[in-house]
Structure formats: C-alpha cells, structure tokens
Chain A
C-alpha cells in the first residue's frame, strides 16, 4: 500500500493503524509516525538531557530502534507509550555514560529557546521569557534524574500518573512523591534566582502562561 493511501478521505490514521501498515512493509506509514512523534520525542530528550545535539541523536536513535523492533510490537501498549519508553531508556543510558565521565550533569542553560507560537509577544516579553527559561533550565539541573523525568512527562507531555508509573516502572505513589518533591525543589531554586511566583514575568498575560491548552501536551490516549 502506498503512502498516499494512508490518508483516507482526509482522516488521519491512528498510530495503531500506521503501525500495522508499517509492519506490513509500508515505509511511508512509519514515516508518518515519525512526523507525528519526532517533535515530542525531541522535546522529551532535550528537557531530560538539556543538550540539543544529544537530544537530536537520541530522537533519531529512538525511531531507528523502534523501526527495527516494530515487528515485535504486538500492540500490548500504545505506540506512544512504547516509543516514549525507548526514548527514556536511551536518555537513561546517556545520563549514565555522562556520569561516568563527568561529576555533575548540568543542563545547558545557554541554549536559545525557540520563539514558537509567541508572535503576540512583545520584545520585552520575549526577553523576560528567555531569561526565565534559562533560570528554569538551571533549576532543573538541581533535580534528580527521576524527579526531572517525572516532571517533564507530566508537565510537558501530559501523561497520566499511571502512564508515568508504567514508564518508570515504579508505584503510583512514587510518581506523586517525585512530582511533589521536584516541584518543591524548583520553587526554591526559582526563589533563589529572584523569581517569586509569577512576578518574574510580570507584564505577560496570565492566560498566556497558565492556559494549559497552549502547552504542547501529548495525549497518550489518542
């Protein structure tokens, strides 16, 4: 089946349908999965690792491994959960390798964040957001790997507690504890950096920060 046939009357195929087509040999269907998930996987790797180049490598390796193991994917889990697990395992291996070579794993706070979907912002607002992003990056470095991964999966990818527990292979209560403790560490780090509440970004419309719909949330239930 050709790639053009993967879109039927303008309706997008589900992940599971694309996986079935890919397993049957339709490379274009797998590439549609790549297009659908490469941004979330890259964002996940970047926020866990803190380095763009390494995140890009992890992202590419994730899809490569997924493609190689596609025939072994029997649909026992959602494709999204499966590929998230692959990416997180790669991130964990990367962090362990880094720990063997360096004492401290710090996130790269100098990386220029993307001005995506910020066309309504003024120049001042962009500067404030950029500075806050660097502060958050440094604050994230103070978290443990487990705390940071849990917060990233919950805050930026919208996974449920149970999905996070399944990915991290830990009890549900452990996930909530990591969230609670991690958010507490971040709060203290931000306060030390002079960010108190939302004061650090005074002037930005509150809805622009707090509206959850504007956040790129990945819904694993789709």
Chain B
C-alpha cells in the first residue's frame, strides 16, 4: 500500500508529475527518486493512475443546444386568439340582425299607411290593452321620473288612434303636460284638445268645399260667356270634363 511521500514536498512532486516543474526542480526530484525507492514507487503509482483515468470517457450524449431569440417580431399571421378577438364581418352582420329581430319581437311595431298619413305604433299593450296597468303605463311614459314621486294616473284611450292628416298633425299643438303614449289610443288629458282639433279640421274641410263650389260656379259662368259668344264644341267638352273631375 502506497502512503504519502514524506521525502519530497507535495507541491514539488505534483509539479514534477504534471511536467510543470522548472529544470532545477525537476533535476532535484529526479535525483531523489534515484536513491529513494519509496518515492520512486509513489511517483510511478501516481503516473499509472493518471494513465488509467484515460479509460473514463463520458457518454456520447445528444446535445445540440441552440439559443433562440425570443425578441423576434411577431409573425404576420394572426394567432387563434387574435382571430377570435376579431370577429368577421358576417359575424357582426349576424349579430346586428339578431339584435333587430329581438327588438322587433319585444316592441311589436305596427306600421299603418292610410289616407291620412303613416302611423307607426310600438309597444306591448295592444294585444291585451285591458291588462295594461297604470304603473306600466307610467314607466313607459316617463322613465326618468321613476323612483321619484309617483306619476299622475293616466287613462289610456282604447282603440285605434285617430288618423289625422299630416298637416293637421303638425298643426295640432300639444297641451302643456300632455303625455305621449307609444301605442294605441291617446290619453284622457289630450282627449278634449283632440276633439277640438277634429272639429277644426271639419270646419276647415267645409270651408275648402265651399271654396271649391264657388270656383266651379265661377268657371261655369266663364264658359257660359263663351257659349254666349258662340265658342266651339271642344271647349264645351273641356268644360264638361272639368265638372266631372271637380265633382269627385
């Protein structure tokens, strides 16, 4: 069994063993090894150990490490998440259509075009007007006041609202405090004013009819003068045509 060498200083022996001793130190060690069997055996044994270490070879592992920069610009192609966050045009169109259908289902609009003009009605109460309660009417009429003092009770007028002419609707003034109901009927507060407006319209229509009759009389008188003066046959036919048109 080899023990530590006590003759040569360890540092000098290691320098000699690894060939890093200068010439003077190497000569000194070699001179000692020639006369000291123990030290010679020590150095020989350590050299053999170094030689045997050659057999310790690491495995041929698959390495191939590569660093990849993570600061590259984002690719042009959109990720799946980005695509989900950007709905297509057809999706937006579909969503808009769904909203319109839902709104139409809820509000139930009715469009009526008659001789007096166009009337658009929306609301929930025309199917069951009797079930309409006052709070509902109030809430639809004046939402901003909900939660404050309770509104005045209203009496919804049943039935189809009066179809008035466009000119008449524009000229009919709303009474102060009158309520507008989106649905069939008018409020009792506007009942009297509406009747007055209808009477005014009737009187206006009577006035227009009287004026039309006066115009016809004047035309007839004028054409009569032509007859007196011996007008021709076509003028008489034109006069008859105008009479028929005015009589409609």
CA distance A209 to B56 in the complex (A): 11
CA distance A78 to B10 in the complex (A): 29
Interface residues of B toward A: which range? 35 or more
Render A86-127 as a binary contact track against B, CB cut-off 8 A, 1 for contact.
000000000000000000000000011111100000000000
Say yes or no: is B78 at the interface (Cβ < 8 Å to chain A).
no
* The 9 nearest A-B residue pairs measured at CB: A114-B60, A132-B55, A197-B48, A113-B57, A46-B58, A136-B56, A176-B14, A176-B11, A180-B10
Q: How far is the CB of B74 from chain A (nearest CB, A)?
A: 18
Residues of B within 8 A of A12 (CB): none
Task: Knowing A42-B58, A47-B58, A197-B45 are in contact, say whether A34-B66 is a contact too (CB < 8 A).
Answer: yes
CA distance A52 to B51 in the complex (A): 23
Evaluate contact between B67 and A137: CB separation under 8 angstroms. Answer: no
Contact of B67 among A67, A116, A151, A196 (CB under 8 A): A67
Contact of B52 among A34, A111, A132 (CB under 8 A): A132
Evaluate contact between B61 and A56: CB separation under 8 angstroms. Answer: yes
The residue of chain B having its C-beta at the shortest distance from the C-beta of A43 within the complex is B58
Task: Knowing A191-B1, A198-B48 are in contact, say whether A179-B69 is a contact too (CB < 8 A).
Answer: no
* Chain A, 135-186, CB within 8 A of any chain B CB: 136-137, 140, 151, 154-156, 160-161, 173, 176-177, 179-181, 183-184, 186
The residue of chain B having its C-beta at the shortest distance from the C-beta of A179 within the complex is B14
Evaluate contact between B59 and A195: CB separation under 8 angstroms. Answer: no
CA distance A31 to B64 in the complex (A): 10
CA distance A42 to B14 in the complex (A): 27
Residues of B within 8 A of A140 (CB): 56
CA distance A112 to B59 in the complex (A): 6
Say yes or no: is A85 at the interface (Cβ < 8 Å to chain B).
no
Say yes or no: is B13 at the interface (Cβ < 8 Å to chain A).
yes
Say yes or no: is B63 at the interface (Cβ < 8 Å to chain A).
yes
Evaluate contact between A63 and B67: CB separation under 8 angstroms. Answer: yes
Q: How far is the CB of A206 from chain B (nearest CB, A)?
A: 8
Instruction: Identify 14 new A-B residue pairs, CB closer than 8 A, beyond the known A42-B63, A180-B14, A188-B2.
Output: A31-B67, A34-B65, A52-B61, A55-B58, A55-B61, A56-B63, A113-B59, A129-B55, A129-B57, A133-B56, A176-B11, A176-B15, A186-B53, A187-B45
Evaluate contact between B60 and A137: CB separation under 8 angstroms. Answer: no
* Chain A, 185-211, CB within 8 A of any chain B CB: 186-188, 190-191, 195-198, 200-201, 208-210
CA distance A173 to B69 in the complex (A): 44
Evaluate contact between A116 and B49: CB separation under 8 angstroms. Answer: no
Evaluate contact between B56 and A137: CB separation under 8 angstroms. Answer: yes
Say yes or no: is B68 at the interface (Cβ < 8 Å to chain A).
yes
20 contacts between A and B (CB under 8 A): A27-B68, A30-B67, A38-B63, A42-B61, A55-B58, A56-B63, A63-B65, A112-B59, A113-B55, A113-B57, A114-B59, A133-B56, A140-B56, A156-B53, A173-B11, A176-B14, A184-B46, A188-B2, A190-B49, A198-B52
Evaluate contact between B59 and A187: CB separation under 8 angstroms. Answer: no
Q: How far is the CB of B13 from chain A (nearest CB, A)?
A: 7
* Chain B, 101-128, CB within 8 A of any chain A CB: none
CA distance A171 to B93 in the complex (A): 79
Say yes or no: is B54 at the interface (Cβ < 8 Å to chain A).
yes
Evaluate contact between A180 and B13: CB separation under 8 angstroms. Answer: yes
Residues of B at under 8 Å CB distance from A?
1-2, 4, 10-11, 13-15, 17-18, 20, 44-46, 48-61, 63-69
Evaluate contact between A184 and B63: CB separation under 8 angstroms. Answer: no
Evaluate contact between B49 and A183: CB separation under 8 angstroms. Answer: yes
Q: Max chain B CB contacts within 10 Å: which of A136, A151, A173, A181? A: A136
Contact of A201 among B1, B55, B60 (CB under 8 A): B55
Evaluate contact between B59 and A186: CB separation under 8 angstroms. Answer: no
CA distance A201 to B66 in the complex (A): 39
CA distance A210 to B45 in the complex (A): 14
Render A34-65 as a binary contact track against B, CB cut-off 8 A, 1 for contact.
10001100110011000010011001100110
Contact of A34 among B11, B20, B48, B67 (CB under 8 A): B67
Residues of A within 8 A of B66 (CB): 31, 34
Contact of B51 among A43, A47, A111, A210 (CB under 8 A): A210
Say yes or no: is A71 at the interface (Cβ < 8 Å to chain B).
no
Evaluate contact between A133 and B55: CB separation under 8 angstroms. Answer: yes
Task: Knowing A34-B67, A180-B13, A187-B46 are in contact, say whether A116-B55 is a contact too (CB < 8 A).
Answer: no
